[in-house]
Amino acid sequence: MQKTNPTIHVDGQEIPFKVGQTIMDAALAAKVYIPHLCHYPGLTPHGNCKLCMVDIGNKNVTACTTAAVAGQQIRNNTETLNAARKTVTQMLFIEGDHICPSCEKTGNCKLQAMAYYLGMLDNHFPQFYPRREMDASHATILLDRSRCILCDLCVRASREVDGKNVFAIAGRSTNAHLIVNSPSGKLGDSNIQTDDLAAHICPVGAILIKEQGYDVPIGQRIYDQQTIRDVGLNEAIPEKQGNHHD
C-alpha cells in the first residue's frame, strides 16, 4: 500500500508535501502562488524580502524558510497580508532608483511586476535612497547598485550554481550594500562571466548585460505577457547554466 504524503492547508486548500520541503516549496509545487522576490527554486532560501510572509495561528512567518508541517493551517491571500506586502514593495521602490519609464529593465522587472500584482498605485513614502556606486568596470556586465534591493539572489546564484563567490552583502540596515569579492572590489577584476546565472538572476535592473538594452521591444517583455504569479509558478534554474569554475 502506497503511503500518502502529509498535507498542509493554504487558504483552505489541501496541499501535499514531502518531508523537508518548506511551505513555499510545497505551495509552488501545487501551483499555489505566494508572493516573493528573493526566493528562487533551487537556491537556499534566506527570507530577505519578507513578501512571502504567511499567517500560521496568528503568527507571521516567511514561507520560503519555514518547514511544512502536517496539519498547518496557513493563510496567504488575505487583505492584511497583501496590504503589508504592498507596503514592503513601496519601501523597496523609494529606497532605490526605480523610475520604471526610464529603466531598460521595465517589463522584465520583478519589482515592477509585483507592484502591479499588489495594486500599488503610488510610492506612498517620500523618496529616499543613498548614493550608491555604479560599477562599469567589467567588459560585458554593468552593476548599478542604486537599483539593488538586497535580495541576495546574485550572491547565492554565484556561490551555489556558478561555483564562484563573486558577490556578498556588507553592512547592516540602511548601510547594507552589495559588494564584489575581488581584490579591488570591482566587477572587472572578478571571475564573473556573461553566461553565469549570477549575471542574469537579478530581479530588478541592478545587474545588466551591456549592449543588450531593449533587444525585446516594450510590450513584448516577460511581464507584458504574463503576471508575476504565472512566472513565479514556473521558475527553475536553467539547466544550461550548470556548475562551472574559473
Question: Can you list the domains of the chain with their CATH numbers?
Answer: 7-77 (3.10.20.740), 81-232 (3.30.70.20)
pLDDT bin (cut points 50, 70, 90) of residue 174 is confident
Q: Residue 172's pLDDT is what? A: 85
DSSP code per residue over the chain: -PPPPPEEEETTEEEE--TT-BHHHHHHHTT-----SS--TTSPP---S-TTEEEETTEEEETTTSBP-TT-EEE-S-HHHHHHHHHHHHHHHHTTT--GGG-TTTTS-HHHHHHHHTT--S--SPP------EE--SSSEEEEGGG-----HHHHHHHHTSS---EEEES-GGG-EEEE-STTS-GGGS---TTSGGGT--SSSSEEETT-TTSSPTTSSHHHHS-HHHHHTS----TTT-----
Q: Tens digit of pLDDT for each residue in 82-114?
A: 999 999 999 999 988 888 888 889 999 999 999
Asked if pLDDT for residue 167 goes beyond 50, the answer is yes
Q: Tens digit of pLDDT for each residue in 72-90?
A: 999 999 999 999 999 999 9
Asked if pLDDT for residue 1 goes beyond 60, the answer is no
pTM of the model: 0.91
Whole-number percent of the chain with pLDDT over 70: 96
pLDDT average, residue stretch 179-185? 96
Asked if pLDDT for residue 17 goes beyond 60, the answer is yes
pLDDT bin (cut points 50, 70, 90) of residue 3 is low
Q: Residue 200's pLDDT is what? A: 96
